[in-house]
Amino acid sequence: AAILLKLGGYGLIRISSMLNPHPPNLMFPIMILALWGILMTSSICLRQTDLKALIAYSSVSHMGLVTAAIIVQTPWGLTGAMTLMIAHGLTSSALFALANTNYERTHTRTLLLVRGLQLIFPLMSTWWLLTNLTNMAMPPTINLLGELFIISTLFNWSPPTIIITGIGTLITATYSLYMFLMTQRGSISTQFRILPPTHTREHLTLTLHLLPLGLLIMKPSLISGLFA
């Protein structure tokens, strides 16, 4: 999710520039699939019981935004696609790392079985909160900048797309909060009351994911190229 999807996005950027200007019969079906995929994969996340499957489907939803922005072939669209790909690469990797820390201790990925981990791992719960807020593109993360560029680009291309992107953003916030509440809040099962503690290497890994996301907003030209 963090690397292979971004290689696909890079391939789209390289191929899409060769097809400029786009033939309408080629652009519209792919654009419709990309926009519809944002809603479908986001909706699928709301009914997931497997933690890693939820994170994986959320990655597909974000790449629908990237695909739509690349196809429009405008400077803002390509800037937003590049920014969101890098931001989501760090965010998705951090979410999978967090899911793995849960799995190493509970040996299950089912959301209904593992709840209330905030009581046992309060510091890890903080990482969960920050990563989910980043996944929701909350300010001041670089994810927000990428999504704003993409939504503005799609609105300029066709104003009705604001409905789809707006609904997709709301569903993204919904399943991100759902993932946080299902893993961290509630009463923990008696079989998970004694769990191994977290390690320094895990907190260092998450720091190396989230620190760049916070610092890149101070100089977004490093990854966007728009303000260089």
Whether residue 227 is contained in a domain is answered as: no
Whether residue 115 is contained in a domain is answered as: yes
Tell me, what's the pLDDT at 22? 62
**Mean of all residue pLDDT scores within the chain:** 87
The rounded distance, in Å, linking the Cα atoms of 111 and 188 is 12
pLDDT in tens, 209-226: 999 988 888 888 777 765
pLDDT in tens, 111-152: 888 888 888 888 999 999 999 999 998 888 899 999 999 999
Whether residue 228 is contained in a domain is answered as: no
Whether residue 215 is contained in a domain is answered as: yes
CB atoms within 10 A of CB 180: 19
Residue 228 predicted with pLDDT over 50: no
pLDDT in tens, 10-27: 898 888 777 666 666 677
Whether residue 181 is contained in a domain is answered as: yes
Looking at the structure of the chain, the number of domains it has is 1
CA 165 distance to own-chain centroid: 14
Contact criterion met (CB below 8 Å) for 135 and 58 = yes
Whether residue 147 is contained in a domain is answered as: yes
| Domain membership of residue 50 as a residue range | 3-222
